[in-house]
Amino acid sequence: MTQPSVILATASYDHTIRFWEAKSGRCYRTIQYPDSQVNWLEITPDKRYLAAAGNPHIRLFDINSSSPQPVMSYDSHTNNVMAVGFQCDGKWMYSGSEDGTVKIWDLRAPGCQREYESRGAVNTVVLHPNQTELISGDQNGNIRVWDLTANSCSCELVPEVDTAVRSLTVMWDGSLVVAANNHGTCYVWRLLRGNQTMTNFEPLHKLQAHNGYILKCLLSPEFCEPHRYLATASSDHTVKIWNVDGFTLEKTLIGHQRWVWDCVFSVDGAYLITASSDTTAKLWSMTSGEEIKTYQGHHKATVCCALHDGAEPSPS
């Protein structure tokens, strides 16, 4: 199979993962996922594999194959895996789970390489652009920084006691981190390097973004510069786009009929893709705020999406 230059995948409570032609909206491949719902999708940096986080496993699928079987399964979590991501060269993977742990996996070997205890169900994990710190947020409202070099927790924050941190996002240059919670609030910190290697959080802004839950917050990518945006997807059926300079509301994306669970920017920040309980995913123009395309085919809530539209991987 020749690989499409843009890879868009969605997953739904209907126990399927679908691959789409982003421009035409045609679904060209469906993978059955009978074991559980899928909570998160992530494409490897080289565009070769799609990781699907379920309960309690992570499965890796070959994007270029038509085989419905995963090429690898990672199995040591004991509850819903809520977040998965990859180190920039794709050497290792990280995950966070409702079992209260953050784990690191060597992709070439089965079994988990490292494990960190968060003492609360982990909802979100992001990798700092320095590739040496993971930041996790949990159901009890804790944000923790895991220093991979020292192999320990280097920082703990509780922006709002007993209010679940739903989603975390870090600016591509490591300058900002945003945490979104169940009260519709975003907390923004400037990230400062301390005298050692440890990152310090300096409170910058508190944004009352939605009246409902924020299910995903996401900062725009590097090639979006000089514009910097924050997208917040909410249970109030909308996605809001904020200008990071002053955190003013730029536009509200209206069109979904139910909760919006996930969103992802195109590599240049010109488009946003969203996934919603109304069973659809949508493609939006960031300049106009208009809906360009609807991806229809799932039969139940579409809860996560992944997009890789970057440069073609160079043949190794």
Q: Tell me how many degrees the CA angle 223-241-190 measures, rounded to the nearest 5.
A: 70
Q: Which domain holds residue 222?
A: 82-308
* Cα 18 off chain centre by: 17
When pLDDT is cut at 50, 70 and 90, the band that residue 314 belongs to is very low
When pLDDT is cut at 50, 70 and 90, the band that residue 316 belongs to is very low
User: Does a structural domain hold residue 17?
Assistant: no
User: Does a structural domain hold residue 283?
Assistant: yes
When pLDDT is cut at 50, 70 and 90, the band that residue 4 belongs to is confident
User: Does a structural domain hold residue 113?
Assistant: yes
Q: Across the strands, what pairs with 313?
A: none
CA distance 138 to 83: 11
User: Does a structural domain hold residue 231?
Assistant: yes
* pTM > 0.85: yes
pLDDT tens, residue by residue, 141-180:
999 999 999 999 999 999 999 999 999 999 999 999 999 9
User: Does a structural domain hold residue 152?
Assistant: yes
pLDDT tens, residue by residue, 203-239:
999 999 999 999 999 999 999 999 999 999 999 999 9
SS3 224: helix
User: Does a structural domain hold residue 36?
Assistant: no
User: Does a structural domain hold residue 252?
Assistant: yes
Q: What single letter denotes the amino acid at residue 128?
A: H
Looking at the predicted structure, is the pLDDT value of residue 196 above 80? no
pLDDT tens, residue by residue, 257-309:
999 999 999 999 999 999 999 999 999 999 999 999 999 999 999 999 999 99
The count of domains in the chain is 1
- pLDDT value for 210: 98
CA distance 305 to 302: 8
Which tokens in the block code for residue 300? 């139940």
Residue that has been written with the tokens 């059955």 in this structure: 32
- pLDDT value for 107: 86
Strand intervals (E) in 133-237:
133-138, 143-147, 152-157, 165-170, 176-181, 185-193, 199-208, 214-219, 229-234
- pLDDT value for 315: 45
List the single range of 2-6, 40-44, 208-212, 220-224 with lowest mean pLDDT: 2-6
Q: Across the strands, what pairs with 87?
A: none
First to last CA, the chain: 19
User: Does a structural domain hold residue 11?
Assistant: no
CA distance 141 to 252: 27
Rounded-to-5 percentages of helix, strand, coil across the chain: 0, 50, 45
- pLDDT value for 108: 79
When pLDDT is cut at 50, 70 and 90, the band that residue 194 belongs to is low
pLDDT tens, residue by residue, 180-193:
999 999 999 999 87
Which sign, positive or negative, has the C-alpha torsion 168, 173, 174, 177? negative
pLDDT tens, residue by residue, 62-104:
999 999 999 999 999 999 999 999 999 999 999 999 999 999 9
Looking at the predicted structure, is the pLDDT value of residue 32 above 90? yes
CA distance 120 to 46: 32
- pLDDT value for 310: 84
CA distance 272 to 300: 21
SS3 206: strand
- The answer to whether the CB of 299 falls within 8 A of the CB of 11 is no
Distances (CA, A) of 255 to 274, 275, 301: 10, 11, 15
When pLDDT is cut at 50, 70 and 90, the band that residue 24 belongs to is very high
Q: Which residues contact 231 (CB under 8 A, 6 or more apart)?
A: 216, 217, 218, 220, 239, 240, 241, 242, 263, 265, 272
CATH code of residue 233: 2.130.10.10
Looking at the predicted structure, is the pLDDT value of residue 109 above 80? no
